[in-house]
Amino acid sequence: MIYEIVLFLHVIGAFVLFGTGAGIAFFFVISNRSGNPAFIAHTAGTVVLADGIFTATAAVAQPISGYILTQLVGWELSEGWIALSLGLYVFVGLFWLPVVWIQIKLRDLARIADSEQIPLQPAYRRLYRVWFAFGFPAFFAVLAIIWLMLTKPSF
């Protein structure tokens, strides 16, 4: 029964990481297409909040629940699919941590543009391009981790 509960929590955590990441990306991209600093600032504020509540919580819970599962089943952390999953998880973190900082900075720059009634500045556009580019490797790495979780390939 413990195994099933921990597995359920681990799968829910994967859903939250994937779903929140995809949702955040979608809503932030759509708001940026508007070019409206007030709309972007509001959406960015929500994105930062969602990342802090959902993504950060799941990001902490995933390795804990994963470790407990390995102990319950008797898998070694050095097993191929587990080691690769852990490596990809670190890879995702290397992209996600800067993205969190960038989102906060983008939110602040959009708030300034809105309060001063000026267009978004070139610094905003540069940071947004980095945010956008960083999303792709992290997104596909999360998909790979989910695939590894489901298939547990032997290699």
32 contacts 128 by C-beta, under 8 angstroms: yes
Question: Rounded distance, CA 96 to CA 105, Å?
Answer: 14
Residue 129 host element (H or E): helix 122-151
User: 67-76 — which CB contacts under 8 Å span 24+ positions?
Assistant: 68/6, 69/3, 69/6, 69/7, 69/10, 72/2, 72/3, 72/6, 73/3
User: What is the reported pTM?
Assistant: 0.90
pLDDT value, residue 2? 96
- Of the candidates 27, 53, 15, 33, which has an alpha carbon nearest to the alpha carbon of residue 135? 27
For the chain, residues with pLDDT lower than 50 are none
What is the number of structural domains in the chain? Answer: 1
Handedness of CA 34, 37, 42, 43 (dihedral sign): positive
Give 74's Cβ-side CA count (13 Å radius): 0
pLDDT value, residue 155? 82
Average pLDDT, rounded, for the chain: 96
| For the chain, percent of residues with pLDDT exceeding 90 | 99
pLDDT value, residue 11? 96
CB count within 10 Å of CB 32 equals: 21
pLDDT value, residue 41? 98
Q: Give residue 25's domain range.
A: 1-154
Tell me, rounded to whole angstroms, the distance of Cα 49 from its chain centroid: 13
